[in-house]
């Protein structure tokens, strides 16, 4: 009789524990309660700003390729335009020249020279380059395309596929980053995720984020990740405690569990 009571109590404890833990699993709990006007107020299309150490590609296009050629220099491994025999010729199968933003925010751009790009969005940078080369160097209004070559975020800790992810576009939310990492494991702390961010001066800041709080979506400075951001998902108490259980302890727990099961079965058979 005592064993039945003990078994029932153990099952009830496990049931209550599992019910409590499920409350810590969902993201953005009760997000449907957010007011429409709040969502509209903070709705925006995030535009990343160019930072020091960013790597950019810049292409210039006109109806006369020769006019844009000096601004589309290609690298040896890439494609674009190269100077051969005193004239610009197309380089097939290569990539455009890349430009690294220095610590002061400048790039060395062909013909024009030093150009400050730091602090501009991609669209602003395109207009800025356009104004620099037209009409001073090109009579036709060119189409300028600026792209980030190294826009990346890192996700570490209790996720299925931790790693560094290079993005094709410049917009990535925290949930996007977790999706790329295969989502959090069941052991990840949803209410205390660490966001590590570096500014143009190399200073790092750390922000703690509660992914269960739906108002996170109303904070675009945190909800949208910047280039080179790092997300770290800490393990919860269950995982932390399990880390201290060695092979011997695990074996002992397994034996005790087996003996309890056998005892319960024998009592049931011979009662």
pLDDT at residue 39, rounded to an integer: 81
Question: What is the pTM assigned to this prediction?
Answer: 0.71
In the prediction, which pLDDT does 76 show? 44
E strand or H helix at 57: strand 55-61
C-alpha distance from residue 54 to each of 47, 51, 154 (Å): 15, 6, 16
From first to last of the 271 residues of the chain, give the pLDDT tens digit.
555 544 444 444 444 444 445 667 889 898 888 888 788 877 777 889 999 999 999 999 999 999 999 999 875 433 344 444 444 444 444 578 899 999 999 999 999 999 999 999 999 999 999 999 999 999 999 999 999 999 999 999 999 999 999 998 888 999 999 999 999 999 999 999 999 999 988 899 999 999 999 999 999 899 999 999 999 999 988 766 666 555 555 566 667 767 676 766 666 676 6
């Amino acid at each position: 009789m005592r064993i039945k009571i003990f078994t029932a109590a153990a099952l009830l404890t496990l049931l209550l524990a599992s019910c409590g833990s499920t409350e810590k699993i969902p993201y953005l709990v009760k997000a449907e309660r957010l007011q429409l006007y709040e969502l509209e107020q903070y709705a925006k299309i995030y535009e990343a700003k160019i930072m020091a150490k960013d790597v950019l590609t810049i292409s210039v296009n006109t109806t006369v390729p020769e006019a844009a050629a000096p601004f589309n220099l290609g690298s040896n491994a890439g494609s674009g335009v190269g100077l051969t025999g005193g004239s610009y010729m197309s380089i097939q199968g290569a990539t455009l020249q890349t430009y690294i933003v220095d610590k002061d925010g400048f790039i060395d751009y062909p013909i024009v020279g030093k150009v400050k790009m730091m602090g501009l969005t991609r669209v602003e940078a395109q207009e800025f380059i356009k104004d620099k080369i037209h009409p001073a160097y090109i009579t036709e209004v060119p189409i300028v395309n600026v792209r980030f070559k190294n826009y990346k975020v890192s996700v570490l800790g209790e996720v299925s596929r931790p790693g560094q992810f290079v993005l094709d576009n410049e917009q990535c939310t925290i949930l996007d980053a977790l999706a790329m990492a295969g989502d959090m494991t069941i052991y990840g702390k949803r209410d205390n995720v660490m966001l590590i961010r570096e500014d143009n001066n190399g200073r790092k800041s750390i922000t703690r984020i509660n992914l269960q709080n739906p108002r996170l979506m109303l904070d675009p400075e945190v909800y949208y990740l910047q280039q080179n951001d790092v997300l770290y998902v800490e393990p919860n108490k269950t995982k932390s405690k399990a880390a201290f259980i060695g092979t011997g302890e695990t074996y002992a727990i397994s034996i005790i569990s087996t003996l309890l099961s056998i005892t319960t079965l024998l009592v049931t058979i011979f009662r």
